[in-house]
């Protein structure tokens, strides 16, 4: 499993592009099933939160709902021009809110666990540096 480190923008682009491609495949293979789309959304959320850089962890729960909405464009009902497409998108968002909340919560949990692990690792490094007698400005980061 690769371990790329995406910037906040890169994480948003990865998530948005992935959801759009998966939605196009869903429309092609399953006729635009919103349940399949929702199930595919969860691993994309987890990967986005896992692959974003430690300094950009807060962005993961922010970009996944935007990517979910962007990805809905190919699978939402598009009857009746621009107004029909907009209403189809709003309806799909309302009906699939459970998947949206689950994916956002998953991304937030993964990011929170990563942040807690990062902070505990840094605290352990500071304690180890103090135990060795290094001054505060020379501590390992």
User: Nearest 5 degrees, angle CA 97-CA 98-CA 101?
Assistant: 80
- Whole-number pLDDT of residue 2: 61
Domain that holds residue 58: 8-138
User: pTM (2 decimals)?
Assistant: 0.84
Q: Give the number of domains in the chain.
A: 1
- Whole-number pLDDT of residue 134: 64
- Whole-number pLDDT of residue 90: 92
Which of 112, 118, 123, 119 has its CA nearest to residue 58? 112
Strand partners, 6: 52
In a domain, 41, yes or no: yes
Give the whole-angstrom CA distance, residue 100 versus residue 102.
Answer: 6
In a domain, 2, yes or no: no
- Whole-number pLDDT of residue 120: 93
In a domain, 56, yes or no: yes
In a domain, 3, yes or no: no
Residue tagged 């995406």 (tokens): 6
In a domain, 35, yes or no: yes
In a domain, 13, yes or no: yes
Segments of the chain scoring below 50 in pLDDT: 1
- Whole-number pLDDT of residue 48: 94
- Whole-number pLDDT of residue 138: 56
- Whole-number pLDDT of residue 5: 87
């Amino acid at each position: 499993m690769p371990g790329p480190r995406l910037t906040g923008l890169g994480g948003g682009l990865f998530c948005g592009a992935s959801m759009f491609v998966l939605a196009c495949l869903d429309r092609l293979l399953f006729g635009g099933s919103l349940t399949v789309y929702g199930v595919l959304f969860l691993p994309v959320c987890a990967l986005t939160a896992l692959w974003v850089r430690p300094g950009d962890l807060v962005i993961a729960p922010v970009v996944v709902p935007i990517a979910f909405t962007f990805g809905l464009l190919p699978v939402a009902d598009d009857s009746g021009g621009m107004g029909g497409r907009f209403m189809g998108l709003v309806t799909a968002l309302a009906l699939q809110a459970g998947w949206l909340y689950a994916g956002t919560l998953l991304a937030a949990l993964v990011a929170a666990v990563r942040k807690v692990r990062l902070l505990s690792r840094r605290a352990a490094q500071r304690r180890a540096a103090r135990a060795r007698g290094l001054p505060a400005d020379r501590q390992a980061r």
